[in-house]
Every structure is written in structure tokens, then in C-alpha cells.
Amino acid sequence: MAVGIEVVVADVLTPETCDLYRQELPGCLIVHMTVSFPEALRRAASRKVWLTDDEFRMLHEADAANPPAADHRLQVDGLDVQSQTKKLERLWVG
């Protein structure tokens, strides 16, 4: 039953997780947000480090080589949080 609640899930999206979301959440909107490697490094430098440099590079390269089958791709280099949110809102309601 629909109750008017909308949910956003932020996740590391792989082809496998994308398939899982499609299976478990039919009709969901999947947006694959991407950044260049230099921008990913810049952003990561402002957060707690959980991956080694090699793991970080490998994850970024794997995403570029085998992107998930998302409904939309959104390149977010140079976009602040508010600009990213506005672009996502347009995709969501459009």
C-alpha cells in the first residue's frame, strides 16, 4: 500500500547491487552519480579513510570499466551538495 513516503538510498552502486535493487524494489529510480578520479581523491581527503590508495583506485576504475545499468548517470564534478540535490530532484519528478 502506498503511503506517500519517498526514500533515498545512497550506496556504492555496482552491476550486482543495481540488479538487486531492481529485483527487490520494482519501479525504483536508480541514478549513478560519478566523479572523475582527481575529484574523487579530493572529496575522499575530507573524510575518514577506510580504503587503501590501491583499493580506492581499483574501486574507481572498476566503476568506470563496468558501470551499473542505472536509469540515469549524473556527473557531479564541480557540483556542490545543493546543486547535486537539485539535479536529482529534477530526475526524480521528471
pLDDT, residue 9, reads: 83
Rounded to whole angstroms, the Cα distance separating 73 from 17 reads 16
CA distances from 25 to 3, 17, 33, 89 (A): 15, 11, 19, 19
pLDDT, residue 1, reads: 52
pLDDT, residue 57, reads: 94
Kindly give the confidence (pLDDT) of every residue in the chain, 94 residues in length, as a single tens digit, with 9 standing for 90 and above: 567 777 788 888 899 999 999 999 988 999 999 999 999 999 999 989 889 999 999 999 999 999 999 999 999 999 999 999 999 999 988 7
